[in-house]
Structure 1
Amino acid sequence: QAQAQAQPAAPAAAPAPIQGKGPALWVIKDADSTLYLFGSVHVLRPTTGWASPRVQAAFDSASEIWFEISNPDDQAALMPLIQQHGLSPDTPLSSRLTPEENAELDAAAQALGASGLQLQPMRPWLAALTLSVAPLVKAGYDPKSGVELVLKARAEAAGKPIHGFETIDKQIGILAGLPDDVQLVFLRETLKDYENAATKLDEMVSAWASGDVDVLGRVMVEEMKDASPALYQSVLVDRNTDWANQIQTLLQGSGTAFIAVGAGHLAGDDSVQAQLKARGVQVEAVE
């Protein structure tokens, strides 16, 4: 026993290795401000490496951290919003879907260990979200390994203030406020893709982790634009415009900030960087 106590503690698990230079990182500077822009993935396999030396250095140099929302791990805040905006028991999904789509919904729910009956009271946006996240968790993706939660813990440990471009209420409101036909397109696309959801995310994460922004734009952004221009406008373009406005306001201040938002917002023709560049704000890739 004494011998056992004298054994050195097992070394902490080494962080997962990065691919090449790791994910893309951008910087926006003026005379007295430095803003780093980093695309995040909200759910990851624990084995995906992304914390490259340049990302670590940028994060360490920042005096404040910005996310889409300041409390990405606050499940307690989410539940009442879902109750309020995500359910319509008087109009079950079966009344909005064709018999074939209802059969697909049931099959998808069962594959995830639920039943179509459990999804029936949900509004289409919530059913779509549920069906898009569940197969990823089943395939070994973990929200706890997502970029925001890792960075949030680091920021808190270092005493860095955390801010959000949006509130959780606003995020839910954007989805819940989509017109019914747009929500149904979202649900139908999710049903069509649910069997390949993990494979698709693997492709997206691989592109993200190796800094291939063009592939990311094609897999994430262009597909959404093609499937539903209205969803693309609400979920990406309008929010990118709002965030570009807030970044311009930040630039008017001083200091160093590290900004991490979903990688899809930093890819494609209407990305945050594209919107800033159109206004004459210089955005550089960090090599």
Structure 2
Amino acid sequence: MTLVGRLKTSTASMGRVAVGVALGVSLAAALLAGAPKAFAQEAAHAHEHAAIVQATGEGPALWSVSDADSTIYLFGTVHVLRPDTPWGSAKVDAAFDASQNVVFEISNPDDQSALMPLIQQHGLSPQTPLSSLLTPAELADLDAAARSIGGSAAQFDPLRPWLVALSLSVAPLVKAGYDPKSGVELILKHRAEEAGKPVTGLETIDRQVEILAGLSQETQLAFLRSTLEDFDEATTELDTLVDAWAVGDVETINRVGVIDMRTASQEVYDALLTRRNTVWADQIQTMLAGSGVTFIAVGSAHLAGDDSVQEILEARGVEVTRR
């Protein structure tokens, strides 16, 4: 079966992009922050820095690794949330407050000035317009989706499929009340800056764009086609994952956000999770060789499943403790 076929028959295909937006790359929050006014206005009521609603139970999962003179906390995040999502917890607050350093996937997920040149470099392909890659029916679906956010298929025509798919995926999220300003990283970044804690990234926004732009054209088109198929129901999977994340249900995150991604596309799974997790585990071991307390917050999919950061560390003899 071709990749497109697998995506269309998967119970939770890669094209249900809300999952990838929430748990895959924090770049999506930057795209959402720069979303077209036609639907970005729907989130305008949100506060500049949303308050954290306290969880009713223990809240999202938290892990730690440590040695004689250093402790590193690992916290799984969702990059975009509804403002009223209850995820605050005393244990996460204590770990964050005790840390001297805060590390995210990228240090500047809200930096539009850094993103735009990368989109120009990696997101445009006027020599191969999108209209030459899609069927008339698919172009009609694209135009309908684009018009719902104040655009048109013609405006997307010079863009590469990965960028169109990711851009369209944020529209239903905003319409359903999700807001990048309520995403975990932006809230914690604001708290870190207020407390004078240094904020760094495990990788750069350049790298995240390059990962998506480096997907094969077949995979990019499958990503876009499934996005169009599921455009009107894009929040269903994300709602399930957010509910699981907010109560620390890592098994559901693994099942819906990780296993289904691997089933749909090994290429996407390796690009978004496996290779990045391995590099991050290397960096964490380097941090352990130093001293102090560090708080690391990355998308929850990176901390779930057989190829998670924790599993890679434990395979190397590093003990990881669920808090």
Query: Scaled by the length of structure 2, what TM-score is found?
Result: 0.82
Correspondent of 1:238 among 268, 275, 281:
275
Q: Does 1:168 align with 2:205?
A: yes
Change over 3 Å in CA distance of 1:14–1:222 after alignment to 2: closer
Q: Deviations over 1:233-287 (max 9, x none)?
A: 111111111111111111111110000001111112211111111111111100x
Name the structure 2 match of 1:204: 241
Query: Does 1:125 pair with 2:125?
Result: no
% identity of equivalent residues? 65
Among residues 97, 106, 110, which one is paired with 1:73 in the alignment?
110
Match among 152, 176, 189 for residue 139 of structure 1: 176
Q: How many equivalent pairs are there?
A: 274
- Structure 1 distance, partners of 2:222, 2:300, is 22
SS at match of 1:181: helix
Maintained 8 Å contact 1:19/1:209: no
Paired residues for 1:193-272 under 5 Å: 193-272=230-309
What is the 5 A alignment of 1:19-30?
19-30=56-67
1:50 is paired with a residue whose SS is: strand
* TM-superposed deviation, 1:228: 1.1
Aligned partner of 1:99 among 119, 132, 136: 136
SS in 1 for 2:267: helix
**Deviation >6 Å, runs of 4+:** none
Give ranges in structure 1 of 5+ residues lacking alignment.
1-12
- TM-score relative to the length of structure 1: 0.92
2 CA distance for matches of 1:207 and 1:83?
A: 36
One-letter amino acid of the counterpart of residue 181, structure 2: K
The CA deviation at 1:64 is 0.2
What is the identity, as a one-letter code, of the residue corresponding to 2:314?
K
1:89-142 CA-to-partner distances (Å, cap 9, x unmatched) read 221112112233222222222233322222221101101110111210121100
Tell which structure's C-alpha radius of gyration is larger.
1
CA distance in 2, matches of 1:14, 1:71: 20
Deviates more, 1:112-121 or 1:238-247: 112-121
Gap regions ≥5 residues in structure 2: 1-49
- Kindly provide the CA deviation profile for residues 70-100 of structure 1, in whole angstroms up to 9, marking residues without a partner as x: 1111111001110111011221112112233
55-64 vs 221-230, which deviates more?
Answer: 221-230
In 1, are the aligned partners of 2:52 and 2:87 still within 8 Å (CA)? no
Report the 3-state secondary structure (helix = DSSP H, G, I; strand = E; otherwise coil) of the residue aligned with 1:26: strand
